[in-house]
Amino acid sequence: MALMTGAQYEESLRKMRFNLYLQGEKVECPVDHPIIRPSLNAVKMTYDLAHDPAHEELMTATSHLSGEKVNRFTHLHQNADDLVKKVKMQRLLGQKTGSCFQRCVGMDAMNAVDTVTFEMDRDLGTQYHARFEQFLRLVQDEDLTIDGAMTDPKGDRSLPPHKQADPDMYLRVVEKRPDGIVVRGAKCHQTGALNSHWILVMPTISMGEEDADYAVCFVAPADSAGITYIYGRQSCDTRKLEGGALDVGNATFGGHESLVIFEDVFVPWENVFMCGEYRYSGMLVERFAGYHRQSYGGCKVGVGDVLIGATALAAEYNGAAKASHVKDKLIEMVHLNETLYACGIACSAAGARTASGTYLIDMLLANVCKQNVTRFPYEIARLAEDIAGGLFVTMPSEKDLRHPEIGPKIEKYLGGTSGVPTEDRLRVLRLIENLTLGTAAVGYRTESMHGAGSPQAQRIMIARQGNIEAKKGLAKKIAGVAGEDTKQGKN
């Protein structure tokens, strides 16, 4: 079964037994919980579109391991075209769901782990890469969803892991046994963790020798004994409990994040891909971050397409679509959105082969892509709020609209352009609210800032990779500065 359907995926999650808490209560079946369900629907779209002939080229690929057709989310990039198709696939899914569809982190983690384990084995004589390939075969054969888990709580950020007052602020190995390891700690902000079959854990920073116990990478079933999930709050999330759809804005799709706690979880050696090789922790962090920064040039753009469309509709329903300043603002929104996409495509097209055969994006351009993502969606959202008007945050509730006495008054006084039903106008405004301030804002605005690393992380990488010395050499040569190094770099 190389390709699951959405229905098969949902059934597979029903068989899992998560230890989950949401708003102070234990949840026995996440699949049917009204707050969680929209996030599952978004992941289901990644399965159903893979069976749609219109999207097969983007949603599927040929496995380099088996030669079989697999979901692209389980694929290792074999050329630059694969990297480009990944970004196009992510834009498509953003357009279809208007939300985070959650499988990107696992895909990016698997590609990073593949390249690093190969180089560790080559340099150190370890056997991690063979273990990883065995796991990848399982993922591809069963079309599994993987949660890539990198971010630790970190505690006091001025201190390295081994100097923390509480040593569990970074996930660590607390015991090595003949049959495996025991780990303890937590991973924060875990996107789609409860919709995943396995968790792929990675170190969160570059480690030193004294932090070797924290340099660990492994996989574990998402419902393993000792793993606890605490569901993250989102703005307006309890609207999903009210029974209506209008006030939610996007009632069908969504995303979620969890705090995932590991309390003495046992991991057999065959599922361990790094254990103490601290010199390679930084390489893994940087490569995963690079892949995930590329991802934002696709997923955020697709959601941006939905927001731009909703904003244009709001202008039309308000009777302002022909105003020159509104047209100009919509043009600016498109310009910013397409600039993000251009960066995602560029870092993909400039990708290069690693030692394992898996292709890596151009790291400098990937960091430029994410640096833009920390800014442009905020401006797109600001312009959307400008054009939409104040009603998108002050309108009455759906219950008021349905009320037999006051509903007709709302219909009358909140109507816009003649011929457009008042409810249609309110639905579009609620969608804008959802994307900019509501539950979807987690995956569009705040995640744009902090996901795949906060802005300074990209600036550090841009400083490292910007090759300023080579650029100085170019200028010196043209200016005729004698006796200086004029070695040219690719940039």
Can you tell me the mean pLDDT for 119-141? 98
Helix (H) or strand (E) holding 83: helix 80-97
Q: How many CA atoms lie within 13 A of 399 on its CB side?
A: 3
Indicate the pLDDT class of residue 482, thresholds 50, 70 and 90. confident
Question: Which are the contacts of 74, defined by CB distance < 8 A and separation ≥ 6?
Answer: 63, 107, 110, 136, 139, 140, 143, 144, 146
Q: 279: exposed, middle or buried (C-beta count within 10 Å: 0-12, 13-18, 19+)?
A: middle
Domains detected in the chain: 6-281 (2.40.110.10), 284-468 (1.20.140.10)
* Cα 257 off chain centre by: 11
Radius of gyration of the chain (CA): 24
The residues with which 176 forms a beta bridge, in sequence order, are 181
Can you tell me the mean pLDDT for 399-419? 97
The per-residue pLDDT for 379 is 98
What would the pLDDT profile of 412-426 be if each residue is shown by its tens digit?
A: 999 999 999 999 999
- Rounded to an integer, what distance in angstroms lies between the CA atom of residue 363 and that of residue 352? 10
Question: Which are the contacts of 158, defined by CB distance < 8 A and separation ≥ 6?
Answer: none
24 has a pLDDT exceeding 70: yes
pLDDT averaged over every residue in the chain: 96
| Residues noted as catalytic | 100, 104, 191, 257, 292, 296, 299, 447
What would the pLDDT profile of 425-459 be if each residue is shown by its tens digit?
A: 999 999 999 999 999 989 899 999 999 999 999 99
